[in-house]
Amino acid sequence: MTDKMCITVATGSVDRLTGMAVLVSAAAAMDVEVEIFLQLWGVYAFKKDVINKNMNLIEFKELGPQVVEGMKRANIPPWFEMLKQAKEVGKVKIYACSAASKIWDVKLEDLEMVDEVMGAGEWLDKMKEAKINLFI
Amino acid sequence: MSLSEEELRGLKPDKTVDARGTSCPGPLLAAKRAIADVPINGILEVLSSDPGTKRDLPLWAKKVGHEFLGTLEEPGYFRVFVRRKR
């Protein structure tokens, strides 16, 4: 097994995506290779017309403004900025589920930071090779 | 092997990166970026105010093959010293 982290992202919720971006950044700094597979809401959240407008929270929705304020105070960039930085310094690949891409009727150029469209079989093969596997 | 406080205070870093404005894992990314500007066997100093950094940076150094020299605690922040080994 290689020093790799695979994250299956089924959520489009900003709180979850932020947690994911923190781990991806740490992995990029620690020379751990990262591969990310976007499913339904994950693909939606990476759409160019959605990525920086998305304010959807899965938990404690009423605390949204407090979260935004707290992140500003702690100088934590938005999740997609963190992910961009991680892609710059480390080995981070992002794939969009081919079925989900059909659901949203999107092509690679409609998505931000996504490297390839991929099927579930190939993704399973990648997960088998990774030491760390996460599903969010 | 960690150096003594006196030895750490006597170090002359080749580069100092100030990551005090950032939260975890910002200092890690700052260290990863900055180490490239340090000559092999040179010293990088990372300033961080994030409490996670104190244990993160030694682990980072070990993982990526550099030598952690030690940490100095200052009021409100840490000074972490790493020797570039590769």
Mean pLDDT of A87-96: 96
Predicted confidence (pLDDT) at residue A54 exceeds the cutoff of 70: yes
The pLDDT value recorded for residue B2 is 81
Number of domains in chain B: 1
Contact B48, B27 (CB under 8 A): yes
Residues of chain B with pLDDT under 70: 1
Q: Is the dihedral of CA A71, B56, B73, B21 positive or negative?
A: negative
The pLDDT value recorded for residue A105 is 97
CB proximity A22 to B under 8 Å: yes
The answer for residues whose C-beta is within 8 angstroms of residue A16's C-beta and 6 or more apart is A9, A58, A136
Q: How confident is the model over A17-48, as pLDDT tens digits? A: 999 999 999 999 999 999 999 999 999 999 99
Please indicate whether, in this complex, the C-beta atoms of A75 and B32 are within 8 angstroms of each other.
Answer: no
Domain annotation for chain A: domains and CATH numbers: 2-135 (3.40.1260.10)
The pLDDT value recorded for residue A36 is 98
- From chain B, the residues in CB contact with A28 under 8 A are 29, 32
Query: At A99, which amino acid appears?
Result: A
Helix ranges (H only) for chain A are: 14-29, 40-45, 64-73, 79-89, 98-103, 120-129
Backbone conformation region of residue B39, classed left if phi is above 0, alpha if psi is from -120 to 50, else beta: beta
Please indicate whether, in this complex, the C-beta atoms of A22 and B24 are within 8 angstroms of each other.
Answer: yes
Please indicate whether, in this complex, the C-beta atoms of B28 and A29 are within 8 angstroms of each other.
Answer: yes
Average pLDDT, chain A: 95
CB-based burial, A80-108: b 16+ in 10 Å, e otherwise = bebbebbbebbebbbbbbeebbeebebee
Catalytic residue numbers of B, as ranges: 24
Mean pLDDT of A65-76: 90
Nearest chain A residue to B30, by CA: A29
Please name every residue paired with A105 in a beta bridge, in sequence order, or none if there are none: none
**Whole domain around residue B79: which residue ranges?**
5-83
CB proximity A29 to B under 8 Å: yes
Can you read off the two tokens belonging to residue B68?
A: 């952690």
Question: Least CB-CB distance to A22: which of B25, B32, B60?
Answer: B25
Q: How confident is the model at residue A104 (pLDDT cuts 50, 70, 90)?
A: very high
How far apart, in whole angstroms, are the C-alpha atoms of residue A75 and residue A53? 19
Residue A112: Cβ-neighbour burial (10 angstroms; 0-12, 13-18, 19+): middle
Predicted confidence (pLDDT) at residue A102 exceeds the cutoff of 70: yes
How far apart, in whole angstroms, are the C-alpha atoms of residue A58 and residue A61? 7
CATH at residue B70: 3.30.110.40
